[in-house]
Structures are given as structure tokens and as C-alpha cells.
Amino acid sequence: MSTDGFDYTNLLPIANVARIMKSALPENAKISKEAKDCVQDCVSEFISFITSEASEQCTQEKRKTITGEDVLLAMNTLGFENYAEVLKISLAKYREQQARSASMKESKQTRPEEDQ
């Protein structure tokens, strides 16, 4: 922990933050190091804030694993309902894609390879 009270070991990698920032801007846009650092601090703190609330819910229910539903509940509890709705849709799409991938993998394993 640093002297300013922020734990810099829990920051998202700056390269990932910069890549996401660049994807939202026009191709010729530049991003200062100060802007990248600021966004890195903010998103890292936001994730910690949401995760802490989700973890508290799990602790109350005597569970050790935070689920997507816990994150959604935490976002709603903390007043981020609009973001929670979008995340709920993204989570459903992600789970559908995961199920399709698992199904395809399973069907490849149960079906013998055809001779060519």
C-alpha cells in the first residue's frame, strides 16, 4: 500500500486499459499517459468497489465464490442499475456462447473422426 492509501498492486494492466480506451476513440486520437493512468486508477477502484459489495453478499450467504449474479446484484445495490441491465444482457450472451462452444466440443469428442 502506498502513502496515499491506494493499493497499486491491484491495478488493471495499463496496456489493457489503453487498448480499451483506443478502441473507443477515432484512429488518429492520442491518449496522454496521465489520462491512461487516471482511467487505470478509476476502473481499478470501480472493480474493487463492486467486487467488495458482491463479496459481502457471498459472505452473508456463507458462499466463497462470487458469481455473475452477485456482481449484478452489487451493481444494483450500489446504484448502477443502468449498467447492470447492460451487463445482464452481455452475461447472457457470454453464457450462450460458452454453452455452444461446450456443445460443439462435446459433439466432436463423441463423434468418431471420419476417414478422408
Considering the four listed CATH numbers 3.10.310.10, 1.20.950.20, 3.40.605.10, 1.10.20.10, the one that applies to the domain covering 14-106 is 1.10.20.10
Q: Tell me the C-alpha distance between 70 and 45, whole Å.
A: 18
Angle at 18 between CA 41 and CA 42, to 5 degrees: 15
**How does pLDDT run along the chain (116 residues), one tens digit per residue?**
455 555 667 899 999 999 999 999 999 999 999 999 999 999 999 999 999 999 999 999 999 999 999 999 999 999 999 999 999 999 999 999 999 988 888 777 766 655 54
Q: Which residues, in sequence order, are CB contacts of 49 under 8 Å at separation 6+?
A: 78
Q: Tell me the C-alpha distance between 24 and 72, whole Å.
A: 24
